[in-house]
Amino acid sequence: MQTSPIQEETFKAFMADYDSYCHYLHDPLYYDYISSLQETHLLGLYEDEVLIGVSMLSSRSVLKRYRMFTSHTGPLIQPFSNERLQFFLKEIDAYVKGKNGLKMIHSPYHIYQMRNAEGEVVESDMNNHEIVDIYRNQGYSHNGFTKQLVTEELLRHQAVLDISMSEEELLKSMDKTTRYNTRTSEQMGVRLRYLEENEYDKFIDIYKDTEERIGFDPVSSQKIRKLLHVLKDRSYLTLSYIDLEEYLDRLSEELEALEADRLDMQNKLDSGNGTKRMKGRLNELKDLTANKEKRIEKIRGVQAEYGNIIELSAAMYYYNNHEMVYLFSGSYPEHSMFMGTNYTTWQMIKKAKSLGLSRFNLSGLTGDFTEDSKDYGVYKFKKGYDPFIEELPGTFEKIFNRPVYKLAEKLRKV
Protein backbone atom coordinates (compact mmCIF):
# COMPACT_ATOMS: atom_id res chain seq x y z
CA MET A 1 0.00 0.00 0.00
CA GLN A 2 1.02 3.59 -0.52
CA THR A 3 -0.48 7.05 -0.14
CA SER A 4 -0.24 10.26 -2.11
CA PRO A 5 -2.06 13.58 -2.40
CA ILE A 6 -5.03 13.38 -4.77
CA GLN A 7 -6.97 15.91 -6.81
CA GLU A 8 -10.47 17.08 -6.00
CA GLU A 9 -11.85 15.20 -9.03
CA THR A 10 -10.30 11.93 -7.81
CA PHE A 11 -11.76 12.42 -4.33
CA LYS A 12 -15.24 13.12 -5.70
CA ALA A 13 -15.10 10.16 -8.08
CA PHE A 14 -14.23 7.86 -5.17
CA MET A 15 -17.05 9.28 -3.06
CA ALA A 16 -19.57 8.86 -5.87
CA ASP A 17 -19.17 5.07 -5.60
CA TYR A 18 -18.43 4.85 -1.87
CA ASP A 19 -21.26 3.08 -0.02
CA SER A 20 -19.96 2.50 3.48
CA TYR A 21 -19.86 4.61 6.66
CA CYS A 22 -19.64 8.28 5.78
CA HIS A 23 -20.65 11.28 7.88
CA TYR A 24 -21.88 14.40 6.09
CA LEU A 25 -18.63 16.07 7.18
CA HIS A 26 -16.89 13.96 4.52
CA ASP A 27 -19.48 14.58 1.81
CA PRO A 28 -18.17 16.26 -1.37
CA LEU A 29 -20.80 18.97 -0.79
CA TYR A 30 -19.22 19.69 2.57
CA TYR A 31 -15.78 19.60 0.97
CA ASP A 32 -16.86 22.34 -1.45
CA TYR A 33 -17.99 24.41 1.51
CA ILE A 34 -15.03 23.91 3.85
CA SER A 35 -12.43 24.22 1.11
CA SER A 36 -13.74 27.73 0.40
CA LEU A 37 -13.05 28.71 4.01
CA GLN A 38 -10.00 26.71 5.10
CA GLU A 39 -6.92 25.12 3.68
CA THR A 40 -7.97 21.62 2.64
CA HIS A 41 -5.86 18.53 1.90
CA LEU A 42 -6.87 15.32 0.14
CA LEU A 43 -4.90 12.08 0.51
CA GLY A 44 -5.50 8.78 -1.23
CA LEU A 45 -4.71 5.24 -0.06
CA TYR A 46 -3.72 2.92 -2.91
CA GLU A 47 -3.37 -0.84 -3.08
CA ASP A 48 -2.00 -2.30 -6.32
CA GLU A 49 -2.63 1.12 -7.91
CA VAL A 50 -6.32 0.95 -6.98
CA LEU A 51 -7.68 3.77 -4.82
CA ILE A 52 -9.20 2.10 -1.74
CA GLY A 53 -9.31 5.01 0.70
CA VAL A 54 -9.40 8.78 1.04
CA SER A 55 -8.69 11.24 3.80
CA MET A 56 -10.08 14.75 3.75
CA LEU A 57 -8.15 17.05 6.05
CA SER A 58 -8.69 20.71 6.79
CA SER A 59 -6.35 22.97 8.69
CA ARG A 60 -6.15 26.42 10.21
CA SER A 61 -3.08 28.50 10.74
CA VAL A 62 -1.55 28.88 14.22
CA LEU A 63 1.40 31.19 15.02
CA LYS A 64 1.71 31.79 11.25
CA ARG A 65 3.84 28.76 10.40
CA TYR A 66 1.94 25.94 12.19
CA ARG A 67 -1.37 24.26 11.47
CA MET A 68 -4.15 22.56 13.45
CA PHE A 69 -5.59 19.61 11.47
CA THR A 70 -8.86 17.67 11.60
CA SER A 71 -9.83 14.63 9.54
CA HIS A 72 -13.61 15.23 9.29
CA THR A 73 -14.63 11.82 10.70
CA GLY A 74 -12.23 10.01 8.39
CA PRO A 75 -10.30 8.42 6.97
CA LEU A 76 -12.63 6.41 4.73
CA ILE A 77 -11.48 2.98 3.55
CA GLN A 78 -13.31 0.42 1.42
CA PRO A 79 -13.08 -2.40 2.10
CA PHE A 80 -12.19 -1.46 5.66
CA SER A 81 -9.69 -3.33 7.79
CA ASN A 82 -7.75 -2.43 10.90
CA GLU A 83 -4.48 -3.10 9.08
CA ARG A 84 -5.36 -0.61 6.37
CA LEU A 85 -6.47 1.95 8.93
CA GLN A 86 -3.22 1.59 10.86
CA PHE A 87 -1.13 2.05 7.73
CA PHE A 88 -3.18 5.04 6.57
CA LEU A 89 -2.96 6.75 9.97
CA LYS A 90 0.84 6.54 9.94
CA GLU A 91 0.91 8.05 6.46
CA ILE A 92 -1.51 10.82 7.45
CA ASP A 93 0.63 11.66 10.49
CA ALA A 94 3.74 11.84 8.33
CA TYR A 95 1.96 14.16 5.91
CA VAL A 96 0.67 16.39 8.74
CA LYS A 97 4.14 16.64 10.31
CA GLY A 98 5.54 17.62 6.92
CA LYS A 99 3.04 20.48 6.80
CA ASN A 100 4.10 21.78 10.24
CA GLY A 101 1.09 20.21 11.88
CA LEU A 102 0.81 21.14 15.52
CA LYS A 103 -2.19 18.97 16.36
CA MET A 104 -4.29 16.31 14.62
CA ILE A 105 -7.87 15.38 15.57
CA HIS A 106 -9.75 12.24 14.46
CA SER A 107 -13.36 11.34 15.30
CA PRO A 108 -13.61 8.17 13.20
CA TYR A 109 -17.04 7.21 11.90
CA HIS A 110 -16.50 3.52 12.63
CA ILE A 111 -18.19 1.09 14.99
CA TYR A 112 -16.57 0.40 18.35
CA GLN A 113 -19.30 -1.95 19.52
CA MET A 114 -22.94 -2.82 18.92
CA ARG A 115 -25.81 -2.53 21.39
CA ASN A 116 -29.42 -3.63 21.28
CA ALA A 117 -32.39 -1.26 21.59
CA GLU A 118 -32.11 -1.48 25.39
CA GLY A 119 -28.56 -0.16 25.20
CA GLU A 120 -26.98 -3.48 26.18
CA VAL A 121 -23.71 -4.48 24.52
CA VAL A 122 -24.18 -7.49 22.23
CA GLU A 123 -21.83 -9.90 20.51
CA SER A 124 -21.41 -8.93 16.87
CA ASP A 125 -19.00 -9.30 13.98
CA MET A 126 -19.21 -5.51 13.77
CA ASN A 127 -17.58 -4.99 17.20
CA ASN A 128 -14.12 -3.52 16.79
CA HIS A 129 -12.57 -2.77 20.17
CA GLU A 130 -9.11 -2.85 18.58
CA ILE A 131 -9.74 0.47 16.84
CA VAL A 132 -9.05 2.37 20.08
CA ASP A 133 -5.68 0.63 20.48
CA ILE A 134 -4.75 1.46 16.90
CA TYR A 135 -5.03 5.17 17.61
CA ARG A 136 -3.38 4.92 21.01
CA ASN A 137 -0.47 2.94 19.62
CA GLN A 138 -0.02 5.67 17.04
CA GLY A 139 0.47 8.17 19.87
CA TYR A 140 -3.07 9.56 20.07
CA SER A 141 -4.81 10.38 23.33
CA HIS A 142 -8.42 9.30 23.64
CA ASN A 143 -10.97 11.84 24.87
CA GLY A 144 -12.85 9.01 26.54
CA PHE A 145 -16.06 7.03 26.16
CA THR A 146 -18.20 10.11 26.66
CA LYS A 147 -21.91 9.97 27.45
CA GLN A 148 -22.79 13.58 26.91
CA LEU A 149 -22.85 16.09 24.11
CA VAL A 150 -19.46 17.67 23.51
CA THR A 151 -20.10 20.48 21.03
CA GLU A 152 -16.88 19.92 19.10
CA GLU A 153 -17.34 16.14 18.86
CA LEU A 154 -19.77 13.59 17.47
CA LEU A 155 -22.30 11.95 19.75
CA ARG A 156 -20.92 8.45 20.20
CA HIS A 157 -24.15 6.47 19.94
CA GLN A 158 -26.59 6.29 17.07
CA ALA A 159 -29.85 4.39 16.72
CA VAL A 160 -30.09 2.70 13.31
CA LEU A 161 -32.94 0.86 11.60
CA ASP A 162 -32.47 -1.91 9.08
CA ILE A 163 -35.04 -0.88 6.46
CA SER A 164 -34.25 -3.64 3.98
CA MET A 165 -37.38 -5.50 5.15
CA SER A 166 -40.90 -4.79 3.87
CA GLU A 167 -42.99 -1.90 5.14
CA GLU A 168 -45.33 -4.33 6.89
CA GLU A 169 -42.39 -6.00 8.63
CA LEU A 170 -41.06 -2.60 9.71
CA LEU A 171 -44.43 -1.70 11.21
CA LYS A 172 -44.56 -5.02 13.07
CA SER A 173 -41.08 -4.44 14.50
CA MET A 174 -42.17 -1.17 16.15
CA ASP A 175 -43.46 -1.27 19.70
CA LYS A 176 -47.23 -1.04 20.15
CA THR A 177 -47.29 2.67 20.98
CA THR A 178 -45.10 3.70 18.05
CA ARG A 179 -47.05 1.53 15.62
CA TYR A 180 -50.38 2.88 16.94
CA ASN A 181 -49.22 6.50 16.73
CA THR A 182 -47.92 5.98 13.20
CA ARG A 183 -51.12 4.43 11.91
CA THR A 184 -53.30 6.92 13.76
CA SER A 185 -51.43 9.88 12.27
CA GLU A 186 -52.13 8.50 8.81
CA GLN A 187 -55.82 7.96 9.62
CA MET A 188 -56.13 11.53 10.88
CA GLY A 189 -54.85 12.82 7.54
CA VAL A 190 -51.54 14.32 8.65
CA ARG A 191 -49.62 15.57 5.61
CA LEU A 192 -45.98 16.22 4.76
CA ARG A 193 -44.35 18.78 2.50
CA TYR A 194 -40.77 19.78 1.78
CA LEU A 195 -39.67 23.26 2.78
CA GLU A 196 -38.03 25.56 0.24
CA GLU A 197 -34.94 27.69 0.78
CA ASN A 198 -37.04 30.75 1.57
CA GLU A 199 -38.57 28.77 4.47
CA TYR A 200 -35.33 27.92 6.27
CA ASP A 201 -36.17 30.41 9.03
CA LYS A 202 -39.43 28.55 9.72
CA PHE A 203 -37.50 25.33 10.29
CA ILE A 204 -34.88 27.04 12.46
CA ASP A 205 -37.55 28.69 14.62
CA ILE A 206 -39.29 25.36 15.27
CA TYR A 207 -35.99 23.61 16.02
CA LYS A 208 -34.67 26.34 18.34
CA ASP A 209 -37.96 26.45 20.24
CA THR A 210 -37.74 22.68 20.81
CA GLU A 211 -34.05 22.86 21.69
CA GLU A 212 -34.73 25.43 24.42
CA ARG A 213 -37.78 23.60 25.77
CA ILE A 214 -36.06 20.21 26.05
CA GLY A 215 -32.76 21.65 27.26
CA PHE A 216 -30.48 20.39 24.48
CA ASP A 217 -27.04 21.95 24.13
CA PRO A 218 -27.62 24.81 21.68
CA VAL A 219 -26.63 24.64 18.03
CA SER A 220 -26.32 28.14 16.60
CA SER A 221 -28.90 29.27 14.07
CA GLN A 222 -26.04 30.37 11.83
CA LYS A 223 -24.56 26.85 11.82
CA ILE A 224 -27.92 25.25 11.01
CA ARG A 225 -28.58 27.75 8.22
CA LYS A 226 -25.15 27.09 6.69
CA LEU A 227 -25.70 23.34 6.88
CA LEU A 228 -29.08 23.68 5.18
CA HIS A 229 -27.47 25.54 2.29
CA VAL A 230 -24.40 23.31 2.06
CA LEU A 231 -26.29 19.99 2.06
CA LYS A 232 -29.42 21.10 0.21
CA ASP A 233 -28.77 18.76 -2.74
CA ARG A 234 -28.48 15.78 -0.40
CA SER A 235 -31.16 16.58 2.14
CA TYR A 236 -34.87 16.88 2.75
CA LEU A 237 -36.35 19.57 4.95
CA THR A 238 -39.81 18.48 6.04
CA LEU A 239 -42.86 20.08 7.61
CA SER A 240 -45.78 17.99 8.86
CA TYR A 241 -49.20 19.61 9.12
CA ILE A 242 -52.88 18.81 9.29
CA ASP A 243 -55.95 20.40 7.67
CA LEU A 244 -58.53 20.41 10.45
CA GLU A 245 -61.45 21.02 8.13
CA GLU A 246 -60.60 17.84 6.24
CA TYR A 247 -60.13 15.98 9.49
CA LEU A 248 -63.49 17.20 10.83
CA ASP A 249 -65.20 16.09 7.62
CA ARG A 250 -63.69 12.63 8.07
CA LEU A 251 -64.76 12.50 11.72
CA SER A 252 -68.29 13.58 10.79
CA GLU A 253 -68.54 10.82 8.19
CA GLU A 254 -67.33 8.28 10.74
CA LEU A 255 -69.86 9.59 13.27
CA GLU A 256 -72.69 9.29 10.75
CA ALA A 257 -71.69 5.70 9.98
CA LEU A 258 -71.63 4.84 13.69
CA GLU A 259 -75.03 6.43 14.28
CA ALA A 260 -76.50 4.60 11.29
CA ASP A 261 -75.18 1.27 12.60
CA ARG A 262 -76.49 2.05 16.09
CA LEU A 263 -79.94 3.01 14.80
CA ASP A 264 -80.15 -0.09 12.61
CA MET A 265 -79.18 -2.35 15.49
CA GLN A 266 -81.58 -0.61 17.86
CA ASN A 267 -84.46 -1.11 15.38
CA LYS A 268 -83.69 -4.82 15.10
CA LEU A 269 -83.67 -5.21 18.86
CA ASP A 270 -86.90 -3.22 19.25
CA SER A 271 -88.62 -5.42 16.64
CA GLY A 272 -87.52 -8.60 18.39
CA ASN A 273 -85.09 -9.65 15.67
CA GLY A 274 -81.96 -8.93 17.68
CA THR A 275 -79.59 -11.24 19.52
CA LYS A 276 -77.79 -11.14 22.87
CA ARG A 277 -74.57 -10.30 21.03
CA MET A 278 -76.33 -7.31 19.43
CA LYS A 279 -77.11 -5.89 22.88
CA GLY A 280 -73.45 -5.92 23.77
CA ARG A 281 -72.48 -4.48 20.41
CA LEU A 282 -75.11 -1.74 20.80
CA ASN A 283 -73.47 -0.57 24.02
CA GLU A 284 -70.11 -0.53 22.26
CA LEU A 285 -71.58 1.60 19.47
CA LYS A 286 -73.01 4.04 22.01
CA ASP A 287 -69.56 4.42 23.59
CA LEU A 288 -67.89 4.81 20.21
CA THR A 289 -70.43 7.43 19.17
CA ALA A 290 -69.94 9.39 22.39
CA ASN A 291 -66.14 9.27 22.00
CA LYS A 292 -66.38 10.43 18.39
CA GLU A 293 -68.57 13.35 19.42
CA LYS A 294 -66.06 14.33 22.09
CA ARG A 295 -63.26 14.14 19.53
CA ILE A 296 -65.11 16.41 17.13
CA GLU A 297 -65.78 18.90 19.91
CA LYS A 298 -62.10 18.88 20.88
CA ILE A 299 -60.87 19.38 17.30
CA ARG A 300 -63.31 22.24 16.79
CA GLY A 301 -61.85 23.85 19.88
CA VAL A 302 -58.31 23.48 18.46
CA GLN A 303 -59.51 24.93 15.16
CA ALA A 304 -61.08 27.92 16.90
CA GLU A 305 -57.86 28.65 18.81
CA TYR A 306 -55.18 27.93 16.20
CA GLY A 307 -56.87 28.08 12.79
CA ASN A 308 -57.48 25.46 10.16
CA ILE A 309 -53.96 24.51 8.98
CA ILE A 310 -51.88 23.37 11.95
CA GLU A 311 -48.11 22.99 11.57
CA LEU A 312 -46.90 20.10 13.73
CA SER A 313 -43.18 19.36 13.31
CA ALA A 314 -40.16 20.04 11.13
CA ALA A 315 -37.05 17.95 10.47
CA MET A 316 -33.88 17.78 8.38
CA TYR A 317 -32.72 14.52 6.77
CA TYR A 318 -29.41 13.99 5.00
CA TYR A 319 -28.67 10.99 2.78
CA ASN A 320 -25.69 9.50 0.97
CA ASN A 321 -25.01 6.15 -0.71
CA HIS A 322 -25.03 4.38 2.65
CA GLU A 323 -27.91 5.72 4.71
CA MET A 324 -30.45 8.41 5.44
CA VAL A 325 -29.75 10.34 8.65
CA TYR A 326 -32.24 12.13 10.87
CA LEU A 327 -30.19 15.25 11.72
CA PHE A 328 -32.42 17.86 13.38
CA SER A 329 -36.07 18.09 14.31
CA GLY A 330 -38.50 20.19 16.30
CA SER A 331 -42.19 20.09 17.11
CA TYR A 332 -44.96 22.01 18.83
CA PRO A 333 -45.94 20.20 22.07
CA GLU A 334 -49.41 21.76 22.09
CA HIS A 335 -50.17 19.75 18.93
CA SER A 336 -48.64 16.44 20.00
CA MET A 337 -52.06 14.74 19.74
CA PHE A 338 -51.64 14.72 15.95
CA MET A 339 -48.31 12.84 16.18
CA GLY A 340 -46.59 14.74 13.40
CA THR A 341 -43.13 13.43 14.29
CA ASN A 342 -44.30 9.81 14.05
CA TYR A 343 -45.91 10.53 10.69
CA THR A 344 -42.81 12.27 9.32
CA THR A 345 -40.44 9.54 10.51
CA TRP A 346 -42.50 6.84 8.80
CA GLN A 347 -42.79 8.81 5.55
CA MET A 348 -39.03 9.41 5.48
CA ILE A 349 -38.30 5.75 6.18
CA LYS A 350 -40.34 4.99 3.07
CA LYS A 351 -38.51 7.74 1.17
CA ALA A 352 -35.15 6.20 2.14
CA LYS A 353 -36.37 2.81 0.88
CA SER A 354 -37.38 4.40 -2.42
CA LEU A 355 -33.82 5.74 -2.76
CA GLY A 356 -32.53 2.17 -2.50
CA LEU A 357 -31.07 2.64 0.98
CA SER A 358 -31.10 -0.11 3.60
CA ARG A 359 -30.23 2.01 6.66
CA PHE A 360 -32.24 4.73 8.39
CA ASN A 361 -30.08 6.43 10.99
CA LEU A 362 -32.10 8.02 13.80
CA SER A 363 -28.80 9.59 14.78
CA GLY A 364 -27.29 10.75 18.03
CA LEU A 365 -27.84 9.49 21.54
CA THR A 366 -25.70 10.33 24.55
CA GLY A 367 -25.34 6.69 25.54
CA ASP A 368 -26.98 7.17 28.93
CA PHE A 369 -30.01 4.89 28.60
CA THR A 370 -31.41 5.48 32.10
CA GLU A 371 -34.57 7.42 32.86
CA ASP A 372 -32.42 10.08 34.55
CA SER A 373 -30.58 10.89 31.32
CA LYS A 374 -30.94 14.30 29.73
CA ASP A 375 -32.06 12.81 26.43
CA TYR A 376 -34.23 9.97 27.77
CA GLY A 377 -37.32 11.26 25.93
CA VAL A 378 -35.40 11.27 22.65
CA TYR A 379 -34.03 7.79 23.34
CA LYS A 380 -37.49 6.48 24.23
CA PHE A 381 -38.93 7.81 20.96
CA LYS A 382 -36.17 6.20 18.90
CA LYS A 383 -36.31 2.97 20.87
CA GLY A 384 -39.93 2.58 19.76
CA TYR A 385 -38.72 1.74 16.25
CA ASP A 386 -36.67 -1.23 17.55
CA PRO A 387 -33.28 0.01 16.33
CA PHE A 388 -29.85 -1.42 16.94
CA ILE A 389 -27.41 1.03 18.49
CA GLU A 390 -23.95 1.63 17.09
CA GLU A 391 -21.39 2.95 19.53
CA LEU A 392 -18.58 4.94 17.92
CA PRO A 393 -15.08 5.02 19.45
CA GLY A 394 -14.97 8.76 20.15
CA THR A 395 -12.38 11.43 19.50
CA PHE A 396 -8.59 11.10 19.39
CA GLU A 397 -6.00 13.87 19.49
CA LYS A 398 -2.27 13.96 18.84
CA ILE A 399 0.08 16.85 19.51
CA PHE A 400 3.23 16.91 17.38
CA ASN A 401 5.08 19.76 19.06
CA ARG A 402 4.05 20.13 22.70
CA PRO A 403 6.11 23.24 23.64
CA VAL A 404 4.76 25.21 20.68
CA TYR A 405 1.25 23.88 21.30
CA LYS A 406 1.37 25.04 24.93
CA LEU A 407 2.50 28.47 23.75
CA ALA A 408 -0.34 28.62 21.21
CA GLU A 409 -2.88 27.65 23.87
CA LYS A 410 -1.49 30.24 26.28
CA LEU A 411 -1.70 33.00 23.69
CA ARG A 412 -5.21 31.93 22.70
CA LYS A 413 -6.41 32.31 26.30
CA VAL A 414 -4.88 35.74 26.73
- pLDDT score of 265: 83
**Do 343 and 224 reside in the same domain of the chain?**
yes
Q: Identify the CATH number of the domain in which residue 84 sits.
A: 3.40.630.30
Which of 270, 285, 306 is a domain's end point?
306
261 Cβ contact partners less than 8 Å away, ≥ 6 residues apart? 285
Q: Tell me, yes or no, whether 281 and 207 share the same domain.
A: no
36 lies in some domain: yes
Do 15 and 45 have their domain in common? yes
Structural domain containing residue 11: 2-113+127-143+394-413
Residues 69, 215 within the same domain: no
pTM over cut 0.95: no
CB < 8 Å & 24+ apart, contacts of 130-137: 130/82, 131/82, 131/85, 131/393, 132/393, 132/394, 134/82, 134/85, 134/86, 134/89, 135/89, 135/106, 135/108, 135/393, 135/396, 136/396, 137/86
Query: What value, to the nearest 5°, has the Cα angle with vertex 96 and ends 77 and 135?
Result: 55
Last residue of a domain, one of 263, 278, 306: 306
Along the 414 residues of the chain, how does pLDDT read in single tens digits? 999 999 999 999 999 999 999 999 999 999 999 999 999 999 999 999 999 999 999 999 998 899 999 999 989 999 999 999 999 999 999 999 999 999 999 999 999 999 999 999 999 999 999 999 999 999 999 999 988 765 556 789 999 999 999 999 999 999 999 999 999 999 999 999 999 999 999 999 999 998 888 777 778 899 899 999 999 999 999 999 999 999 999 999 999 999 998 888 888 777 877 676 777 788 888 899 999 999 999 999 999 999 999 999 999 999 999 999 999 999 999 999 999 999 999 999 999 999 999 999 998 899 999 999 888 999 999 999 999 999 999 999 999 999 999 998 888 764
pLDDT in tens, 39-92: 999 999 999 999 999 999 999 999 889 999 999 998 999 999 999 999 999 999
CATH number of the domain encompassing residue 260: 1.20.58
Task: Give bridge partners of residue 77 from the DSSP assignment.
Answer: 53
Q: Do 385 and 402 sit in the same domain of this protein?
A: no
Q: Are residues 58 and 207 both part of a single domain?
A: no
Whether residues 258 and 135 share a domain: the answer is no
Q: Is residue 118 part of a domain?
A: no
pLDDT per residue over 149-168, tens digit each? Answer: 655 567 899 999 999 999 99
On whether residue 148 sits in a domain, the answer given is no
The answer to the question of residue 202 being in a domain is yes
Question: Is residue 150, in this structure, part of any structural domain at all?
Answer: no
Same domain assignment for residues 387 and 402: no
Cα→Cα distances 79→19, 34, 307, Å? 10, 26, 54
Number of domains in the chain: 3
pLDDT, tens digit, 9 for 90 and up, residues 120-147: 999 999 999 999 999 999 999 999 998 8
Please check whether residues 20 and 138 belong to one and the same domain.
Answer: yes
pLDDT of residue 414: 43
For residue 105, being part of any structural domain is answered with yes
Closest residue by Cα to residue 145 from 399, 395, 390: 395
Regarding whether 137 and 167 lie in a shared domain, the answer is no
In the chain, the N- to C-terminal Cα span, in Å, equals 45
- The answer to whether residue 152 is domain-embedded is no
Residues 231, 164 within the same domain: yes
Q: Is residue 262 part of a domain?
A: yes
- Given 306, 323, 338, which residue is the final one in a domain? 306
* 59/162 same-domain check: no
